[in-house]
Structure formats: C-alpha cells, structure tokens
Chain A
Amino acid sequence: MVRFENVGLRYGLGPEVLRDLSFQIEPHSFQFLTGPSGAGKTSLLRLLFLSLKPTRGLVTMFDQEVSTLSKDALALLRRRIGIVFQDFRLLDHMNTYENVSLPCRVMGMDEASYRSEVMELLDWVGLGDRIWALPPVLSGGEKQRAAIARAVIARPQLLLADEPTGNVDPTLAQRLLRLFAELNKSGTSVVIATHDIALMDEYDARRLVLHDGRLHTYE
C-alpha cells in the first residue's frame, strides 16, 4: 500500500531531518509511530500525507510513484487517506455534521447520498446529539471524535493520526484507541503517531520508532 525506499528529507539547506527511511505499510495493518520530540514524526506523517515531497528516495502509494503525479492526482490520492490532527483542525463556522461531511462535499457527492452515513458515523463516535454544535462549544474529546469521524467518513484505506490522545484523559484515550482498532478491523490501515507508551502497551501492534532521523521497526 505504502512503500518508502531510501527516503530523505531536509528543509531548505538545513540538515536532513529524515535519513534513509525504507519501510512498507501493508493493507489492513496497524502501527504506532513513535520517537522523542524532534525525531521527525510529524515530518514523516506529512510525507505520508503527501503534503511534503522527499528530497531524495522513492515514495510509492497505492501503486503510484508520487513524485510523478500532478497536483490534481495528488488530491485524488489524498482522498484515500484520512488524517486526524492533534489540534483537530475543525472549521469553526461549520457544525459537527458539516465538518464531518466536508470530504463528501469536496468529492462532489450529493448530500442525500451521504446524510444517513454521516449521522450513523456521528452516532458511532458518540456525537449523535451534537451534530448541530459548532466546534467552539465542543469539548476536547468531542472535537477529537469529530476530527476522527471526518477522517474516516470517506472510507480511507489509510488512516493517519497525529497524537490523537494528546489532549484527552486516559479513559477517553483508551476509548479512542478502541475506535481506531475497530476501524482497522473494518479494513483500514492505521498509523498512530504518539509519545504515549502506556497507550502503545494497550495494543499489540508494530512500532515504527524514529530516532535521529532514522527509522527502526519493531514487529
């Protein structure tokens, strides 16, 4: 599904922040991405999400070599990837329903075709009674769940989550982890970037550990 071969990344003329990364993400797989602060987790997530281009090496996603793709083709590829940000990135002028259904609107789908699915998903993540609420009145956990719902509404093949439990209490963190596990069982590959060792201990999954810009894999 995703293949990195000798990938390196540097910002401008600075030093390489990622060096010689070679790994694969298989379909239906679940992995944690971890490492100390500044190790390059967010940079790697941005490479995975196609918002950065590597300075060297080869990145293949869904059998397409990304460096050769046009901007529109990259946008189409991004629709197969869902991302959950640590800071949620919900649009404040849109209510929960509108935020979650945004990917469907972007894809040009008719509202009637996704309305029930969005409602069902919101019920599933426990936001069925908050569909009309605007993000500023949602709690941190509710925002996190809304962001997750937005990331999965278009049934992505790959889900990336950046510190999804960073802003929530341990109980909610466990609940969110169960949510990701459920999504994985339904066929989505999941990559969770986290510092939370306790969280990783909760779930037996492959660990991708970044240290000094290099990646070490622990199956």
Chain B
Amino acid sequence: MTDPREEDKHVAPSRMWRLFSRSEVLIVPRTSIAGRALVVVVAIMTFLAALTTGAVMLVRAAASDWQSDVSREITIQVRPIEGRDIEADVARAVEIARAFPGIAEVQPYSKVESTRLIEPWLGTGLALDDLPVPRLIIVRVASGAAPNLPKLRQLLSDQVAGAGLDDHRAWMDRMRTMVHTAVIGGVAILVLMLTATVLSVVFATRGAMATNRPTVEVLHFVGAKDGFIARQFQRHFLVLGLEGGAIGGGAAMALFALAGLLRDWVLGAGASDQFTILFGNFSIGVEGYIAIVIQIVLIAAVAGATSRHTVNRTLNTIE
C-alpha cells in the first residue's frame, strides 16, 4: 500500500497552486447550508410577487388609458321639455360647444343613433317621439387643452333649457378608488410574500447556524467579531436570494413576454380585441420589467440582511 505521505509528496508541486488558489475558501461552506429548498421558496415567492406587481401595473395602465379616453370626452345631454323644439335645443347646444375654446369635435347623436343606443333595453321599432328620451351630444376635448367645463356647463344651462353636461367625474372617481384598492391589495400581497421570505430565511439561517456551530465556535476562539461571523453567512444567503430571485423573477418576466406574444394566438382576433380594451396590450412595459428586476435585488438584499440579523441575534444568545 502506498504511504499517503509519499503520495502527497508526489502531487505536492501540482497542488501548490491549488493551495493558494483556495486561500479564500469559504469559511462557512456552501454545502453546509440547506440552500436548495430556500432557493425554491425564494423563487416561488419572487415569481408570485412579480406576477402581483405585473398585474397591478396592468390594471393601473389600463385604468389610466380608460380615464384618459373618458376625460377627453364629455357628454351634453339635452332633455326634452314639453312645448320646446328639442332639435333646435340640440342645434343650439352644438353651436355653443363648437364655439367654446378647447373643444376639438362636437358630434350630436341623431334620432336614429339615439334609438340604436336604447335598443338593447327597449327593443326595436321604437318611436322616439313617443318617449321623453334625452338626446346626447359627444364633445371631444382638443389634445392638450383644458377647457373651462364649469363655464361651459353654465353657458349651456343659461342658453339651452334642459341641457346638462356630464364630464364623467363620478365614474372616474369610482375608477380611481378601484385602482387604489387594487394597488393596496397588491402591496399587501407583496408584504405578505416578503414576510414569508424573511421567515423562510430566518429558519434556514438558524438551521445553517446549528449545522455550522463548530465553525462559529472556532471563529469565536480565534477572535472573530460577531460582524465577521455574520458576514460569512450573509454572503451565502445573498447569493441564494439572488439565485431564487433570478429564477422566480426571470420566469415571471418570461411569462409576461410570452403572454404578450401569444395573446392573439390563444384568444383569437375577436377575444383579443376585447382583451385589449380591458387590459391594453397586456404588456408591463420597460417599467414593469425594471420593477421586477428591482424586486429580485430587493429580495436578495432582504435575504442577506435577514440572515445577518438572525446570526447576530443567535450569537447574542450564545454568550
């Protein structure tokens, strides 16, 4: 049998390089940390967090588009009043609106068009003259203009009996409330996921510290400060957090990119149009992807900071 010492002597020169290349060997070995399970947990959490963020951003973007469309459009309603010629009132209202600064287009609905509007509720073959149905005038605001709507409202009510102006403010208020609720819900979900991630890292760090207790003790004996010991664990959890975050966040980014690409193919042209009306082009945009990347970095940082805090707390209980 070969003497191990002799064997070592033979390989010594080739291992000299290895010795010094290993000089920065990790004091806490990576294999001593149950990292795989944590990477999976962090990946799932980041994936769900990124989906939540993306969904909230989609809702915000869609709501913003709706609000933008609606706020560029106002409606004048002319109610029929007995003894008055509604066509003359509509014409007068149109005239006032067209002359008002900041208005790009005024489009009165004809009798036929008004009939079509209420057909879904009242059926076909309706004689509009028999009913006191108000007439609508769609007014589009010029791009970039901010017309004085209270003044227009005042002009209309002064000069056209039965005319009113609806700038859809109540609807937009409800829309804003809905969007705020969605954002708050999204943030709450993110906080819950972050909390779950923090707790996972706490348990993983405690496990790693228990496994590495002999190493921690030796570090203490050779005069390591708590900060030095904590850094040995922190670097592992930072890397694990980055790995998990990159996997989860990357999967979410791929999903959003794929969903945007396959939307037409999966939904078909008709459904795709409806989808676009509801959710825009289903793209979270560059901002969305940046937000997900920030989440990945944030989760890695939280994992690192949590492990450091847990190590410090555990070290405080050792002595």
Size bracket, chain A contacts: 20 to 34
Q: Which of A140-191 contact B (CB under 8 A)?
A: 150, 154
Instruction: Tell me if A89 and B214 are in contact (CB < 8 A).
Output: yes
> Is A75 among interface residues, defined by CB-CB distance under 8 A?
yes
Since A71-B319, A93-B29, A150-B222 are in contact, a sample of 16 more A-B pairs with Cβ atoms closer than 8 Å, ordered by chain A residue number, is A51-B221, A75-B220, A75-B226, A78-B222, A78-B223, A89-B214, A89-B221, A91-B27, A91-B214, A94-B25, A95-B19, A97-B19, A111-B20, A111-B24, A129-B9, A132-B16
> Is B317 among interface residues, defined by CB-CB distance under 8 A?
no
Instruction: Tell me if A78 and B221 are in contact (CB < 8 A).
Output: yes
- C-alpha spacing A72/B298, complex, angstroms: 30
**4 A-B pairs closest in CB distance:** A79-B223, A78-B223, A103-B222, A106-B224
Q: Which of B223-253 contact A (CB under 8 A)?
A: 223-228
Picked from A71, A105, A132, the residue with its CB within 8 Å of the CB of B19 is A132
- C-alpha spacing A89/B225, complex, angstroms: 19
- C-alpha spacing A13/B25, complex, angstroms: 43
| Chain A residue contacts of B228, Cβ below 8 A | 106
Select from chain A the residue with minimum beta-carbon distance to B224: A106
| Chain B residue contacts of A103, Cβ below 8 A | 222-223
Return 17 A-B CB contacts under 8 Å, by A number. Answer: A72-B225, A75-B220, A75-B223, A78-B223, A79-B223, A89-B217, A91-B214, A91-B215, A94-B25, A94-B27, A95-B19, A106-B222, A111-B23, A111-B24, A129-B12, A132-B15, A133-B8
Instruction: Tell me if B19 and A75 are in contact (CB < 8 A).
Output: no
| Chain A residue contacts of B227, Cβ below 8 A | 72
Q: How far is the CB of A34 from chain B (nearest CB, A)?
A: 22
Picked from A49, A83, A98, A150, the residue with its CB within 8 Å of the CB of B23 is A98
Size bracket, chain B contacts: 20 to 34
Q: Spell out B's residues near A (CB within 8 Å).
A: 4-5, 8-9, 12, 15-16, 18-20, 22-25, 27, 29, 32, 214-215, 217-228, 319
Q: Which of A101, A132, A150 has the most CB of B within 10 A?
A: A132
A95-B218 contact, Cβ under 8 Å, with A71-B319, A78-B223 = no
- C-alpha spacing A133/B222, complex, angstroms: 21
- C-alpha spacing A129/B228, complex, angstroms: 31
Instruction: Tell me if B223 and A129 are in contact (CB < 8 A).
Output: no
> Is A131 among interface residues, defined by CB-CB distance under 8 A?
yes
